[in-house]
């Protein structure tokens, strides 16, 4: 019998569940075995790095079988990250209760529980909650014949065939990332009906600003669309057309570095400006940090084509976040928000100013940060980051979610999956949860079909020539469909990386950036995604509601949202779930037996149901 019982994910012990707004009260309760009865019970908490904890006396409430329950209720006036545990006073001294592997234990040195406290006024855009995203790498999505690439200031190569493999160092040791397929903004606009058919509400464009490289993360001019993509007027028209179709456009903001081949640095003299490379007479000189290294200046992760900027240098800060700065300029042209590249490398002062400007220009704009870890407790460059407390980001790219989904699809471990998903829901503020960018593939990762279909290591030097076998493709496709079912059902914005929905494959950069497979699409997959998109549209109100996730078997996961229930079994044998309400099938379930409230889920199947009664699941484990 356990000596103590505490579960932060259960409202019996912590109510309300999850992150807490400032000034809202929360009740903490703990059950202690009668034989362990202490003299006093304390709730001990500290704000992040504070050395000395605060103590709150917990009152005896009642008996619960063999246990005594103690509770306290408190609120927090200041936003931040808090850590807590329990302390028991005995005649011979104190004992401490912390967590080990998520379970409460009595030992001296254990992990504490995290409590995220966010600003009570924190709001995120309503339009983003329940939305579907489509991510486009502009050079590789669609090339319209109605726009021809304009003259660029630097050397560029244009691929003859749309289906060629992108160049890389294994083809050319002097590779510069300057091979282009000439996808453009007009091409994106011409695909509006297709994008809309997927149920998309927002498009995220990888960088579109002028740049010498196809990925365009080496910005040459923040005020101009790259000449191979189109013009600023083309962008304005693109946003207008998509907005009329009910679809918004957000841009990739790359503000931690610029390109060396840019109007600001001008290392190669391609611009008429006096760049920072030309010396201290340049108006941009103070943006950069020069040194006596072999390269001569600080650069992003050692890439000399990407000189770092000092984001809080007053002139640069004003250039980006000022009243007439870069942010306002593109939002005025139609952008509905930003995805911030390497957000953990952007200092707090810059992010504070960025949010102020973005929201002043458009209170409904969305701000998403690239963060690869749990963004609520991220520690970077010597400081705890406060991205999601109410004064910086609205959302982040949800890599912890991606990792949990991939592991579950591969191994079928239901309990571990639910624990990981529930931890995300526990740590992230409620305004953030339905705006989280839930990804399976991106421009920085392998295509999801490769991840789930190829079971052996493929050297990067061999990736360009590797073609998935039929078995690998089918395995990856089946796993992808299961992962996408989770992606569209769980809290957050499901983000489709262009071409995934059509069966596009590829290993990591640059092979995850192939051209959209026109004429070679997997239409079964496209139909599948169109069905998921329709489901989100039809039940959008439910998809904006809180979710609960349960392990209903060794490999079966059940989660609920509003009146909807979703079930998935990633095991290798059938599992049966007993439901205590009546349901009707609304998605999937062609081979699933559902009679007398008994749901029999065959291996590797999933189904969405709509509740007709009240209580939903009888055998459930959070």
Domain annotation covers residue 618: no
Nearest residue to 267 via CA among 299, 223, 230: 299
Mean pLDDT of the chain: 95
The Cα 329–Cα 367 span in angstroms is: 16
* Same domain assignment for residues 392 and 468: yes
In terms of Cβ atoms closer than 10 Å to its own Cβ (0-12, 13-18, 19+), residue 128 is: buried
Q: Which of 82, 101, 118 is the last residue of a domain?
A: 118
**Tokens 């789930």 correspond to what residue?**
452
> What CATH number does the domain containing 293 carry?
3.90.400
Would you say residue 605 lies in a domain? yes
Is 617 within a domain? no
Is residue 619, in this structure, part of any structural domain at all? no
Mean pLDDT value across residues 304-329: 98
Task: Answer yes or no: do 211 and 359 share one domain.
Answer: yes
Q: Are residues 198 and 281 in the same domain?
A: no
Question: Which long-range CB contacts under 8 A does 587-596 form with residues at least 24 apart?
Answer: 587/531, 587/532, 587/535, 588/485
Same domain, 138 and 251: yes
Model confidence at 615: pLDDT above 70: no
598 within domain boundaries:
yes
Share of the chain above pLDDT 90, in %: 90
402-437 residue pLDDT tens: 999 999 999 999 999 999 999 999 999 999 999 999
CA neighbours within 13 Å on the CB side: how many for 5?
16
Cα angle 460-464-466, degrees, rounded to a multiple of 5: 90
Tokens of 596: 């007398």
Q: What is the pLDDT of residues 503-513, one digit of tens each?
A: 999 999 999 99
Q: Phi and psi (nearest 5°) for 411?
A: -110, -25
DSSP H or E segment with residue 368: strand 366-369
Query: 485 with 348, same domain?
Result: yes
Identify the pLDDT of residue 619.
46
Residues 58, 102 share a domain:
yes
| E strand or H helix at 104 | strand 103-106
* Token pair belonging to 159: 């691929």
Domain's final residue, options 310, 326, 346:
310
pLDDT, average across residues 21-31:
98
Identify the CATH number of the domain in which residue 598 sits.
2.60.40.1180
Q: How far is CA 465 from CA 165, 296, 516, in A?
A: 9, 38, 18
Degrees (nearest 5) of the Cα angle 15, 57, 121? 40
- Within a domain: 504: yes
Question: Cα–Cα–Cα angle for 423, 425, 427, nearest 5°?
Answer: 65
402, 434, 616, 428: which is closest to 543 by C-alpha? 434
Q: What is the pLDDT of residue 621?
A: 47
pLDDT band at 92 (very low <50, low <70, confident <90, very high): confident
Helix H segments across 253-367? Answer: 314-321, 326-333, 348-361
Contact (CB, 8 A) for 79 and 117: yes
pLDDT in tens, 152-186: 999 999 999 999 999 999 988 889 999 999 999 99
Mean pLDDT over residues 589-614, rounded? 83
> Which residues in 133-218 belong to E strands, given as ranges?
133-136, 157-158, 179-180, 202-205, 209-210
Residue 83 and residue 111 in contact, taking contact as beta carbons nearer than 8 Å:
no
Q: Which helix (H) or strand (E) holds 414?
A: helix 414-427
Torsions phi, psi of 417, nearest 5? -60, -50
Q: Is 370 a catalytic residue?
A: yes
Given pLDDT bands bounded at 50, 70 and 90, which one contains residue 614? very low
Radius of gyration (Cα) for the chain, nearest Å? 26
Mean pLDDT (whole number) for 274-303 = 97
Residue 581 pLDDT: 79
Alpha-carbon gap, residue 458 to 476, rounded angstroms:
15
Task: Retrieve residue 577's tokens.
Answer: 């779930």
Check if the beta carbon of residue 582 is closer than 8 Å to that of residue 597: yes
Residues 309-315, mean pLDDT to the nearest whole number: 98
Catalytic, out of 87, 341, 472, 501: 341
Q: What pTM, to 2 d.p., does this model score?
A: 0.96
Q: In the chain, how long is the greatest CA-to-CA distance? A: 84
Final residue belonging to a domain, choices 101, 118, 135: 118
Based on the domain organization, do 83 and 181 belong to the same domain? no
Residue 461 sits in a domain of what CATH number?
Answer: 3.20.20.80
Q: At what angle do helices 399-411 and 470-489 cross, to 10 degrees?
A: 130
pLDDT above 90 for 51 = no
Q: Is residue 20 part of a domain?
A: yes
The catalytic residue among 139, 370, 446, 575 is 370
Q: Does 403 share its domain with 498?
A: yes
| Per-residue tokens: 152 | 């660029």
**Residue 622 in this model has a pLDDT that exceeds 70:** no
Judgement on whether residues 252 and 346 belong to the same structural domain of the protein: yes
Evaluate whether residue 195 is within a structural domain: yes
352 has catalytic annotation: no
Q: How many domains does the chain divide into?
A: 4
Residue 613: the pLDDT is 52
Contact status, residue 398 vs residue 131, Cβ threshold 8 Å:
no
Residue range 195-216, pLDDT digits in tens: 999 999 999 999 999 999 999 9
pLDDT (0 to 100) of residue 112: 95
Residues 269, 397: one domain? no
Task: Please provide the DSSP assignment of 236-280 as one string.
Answer: HHHHHHHHHTT-EEEEEE--SB--SSSTTT-TT--SSS--GGG-T
State both tokens at 15. Answer: 């109510």
Is the same domain home to 486 and 348? yes
Residue ranges making up the domain that contains 577: 545-611
The pLDDT confidence band at residue 617, using thresholds 50, 70 and 90, is: low
Residue 575 and residue 561 share a domain: yes
User: How large is the angle between the packed helices 232-244 and 326-333, nearest 10 degrees?
Assistant: 50
């Amino acid at each position: 019998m356990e000596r103590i019982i505490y579960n932060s994910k259960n409202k019996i012990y912590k109510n309300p569940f999850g992150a807490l707004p400032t000034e809202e009260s929360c009740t903490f309760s703990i059950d202690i075995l009668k034989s362990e009865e202490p003299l006093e019970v304390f709730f001990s908490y500290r704000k992040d790095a504070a050395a000395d904890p605060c103590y709150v006396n917990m009152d005896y409430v009642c008996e619960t079988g063999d246990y005594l329950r103690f509770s306290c209720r408190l609120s927090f006036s200041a936003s931040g990250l808090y850590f807590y545990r329990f302390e028991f006073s005995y005649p011979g001294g104190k004992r401490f209760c912390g967590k080990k592997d998520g379970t409460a234990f009595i030992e001296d040195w254990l992990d504490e529980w995290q409590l995220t406290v966010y600003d009570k006024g924190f709001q995120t855009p309503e339009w983003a909650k329940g939305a579907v995203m489509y991510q486009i790498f502009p050079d590789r999505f669609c090339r319209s014949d109605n726009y021809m690439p304009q003259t660029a200031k630097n050397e560029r190569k244009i691929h003859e065939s749309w289906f060629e493999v992108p160049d890389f160092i294994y083809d050319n040791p002097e590779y510069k990332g300057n091979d282009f397929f000439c996808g453009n903004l007009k091409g994106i606009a011409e695909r509006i009906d297709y994008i809309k058919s997927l149920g998309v509400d927002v498009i995220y464009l990888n960088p579109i600003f002028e740049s010498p490289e196809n990925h365009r993360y080496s910005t040459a001019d923040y005020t101009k669309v790259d000449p191979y993509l189109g013009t600023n007027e083309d962008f304005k028209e693109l946003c207008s057309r998509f907005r009329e179709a009910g679809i918004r456009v957000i841009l990739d903001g790359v503000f931690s570095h610029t390109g060396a081949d840019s109007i600001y640095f001008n290392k190669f003299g391609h611009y008429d400006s006096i760049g920072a490379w030309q010396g201290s007479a340049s108006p941009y000189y103070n943006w950069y940090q020069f040194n006596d290294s072999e390269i001569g200046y600080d650069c992003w992760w050692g890439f000399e084509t990407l000189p770092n900027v000092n984001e809080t240098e007053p002139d640069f800060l004003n250039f980006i976040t000022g009243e007439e700065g870069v942010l306002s300029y593109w939002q005025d042209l139609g952008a509905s928000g930003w995805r911030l590249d390497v957000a953990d490398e952007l200092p707090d002062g810059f992010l504070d100013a960025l949010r102020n400007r973005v929201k002043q220009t458009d209170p409904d704009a969305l701000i998403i940060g690239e963060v690869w870890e749990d963004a609520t407790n991220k520690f970077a460059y010597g400081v705890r980051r406060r991205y999601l407390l109410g004064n910086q980001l609205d959302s982040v790219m949800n890599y912890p979610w991606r990792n949990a989904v991939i592991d579950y699809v591969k191994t079928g471990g239901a309990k571990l999956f639910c624990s990981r998903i529930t931890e995300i829901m526990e740590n992230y503020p409620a305004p953030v949860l339905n705006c989280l960018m839930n990804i399976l593939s991106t421009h920085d990762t392998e295509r999801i079909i490769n991840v789930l279909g190829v079971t052996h290591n493929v050297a990067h030097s061999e990736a360009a020539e590797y073609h998935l076998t039929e078995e690998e493709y089918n395995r990856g496709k089946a796993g992808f469909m299961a992962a996408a079912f989770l992606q569209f059902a769980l809290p957050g914005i499901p983000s489709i990386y262009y071409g995934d929905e059509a069966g596009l494959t590829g290993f990591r950069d640059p092979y995850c950036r192939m051209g959209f497979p026109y004429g070679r699409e997997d239409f079964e997959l496209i139909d599948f995604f169109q069905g998921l998109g329709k489901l989100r549209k039809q039940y959008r109100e439910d998809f904006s509601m809180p979710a609960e996730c349960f392990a209903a078997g060794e490999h079966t996961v059940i989660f609920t949202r509003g009146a909807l229930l979703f079930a998935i079994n990633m095991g290798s044998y059938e599992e049966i779930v007993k439901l205590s309400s009546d349901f009707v099938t609304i998605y999937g379930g062609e081979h699933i037996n559902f009679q007398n409230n008994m749901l029999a889920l065959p291996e590797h199947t999933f189904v969405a149901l709509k509740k007709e009664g009240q209580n939903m699941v009888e055998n459930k484990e959070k």
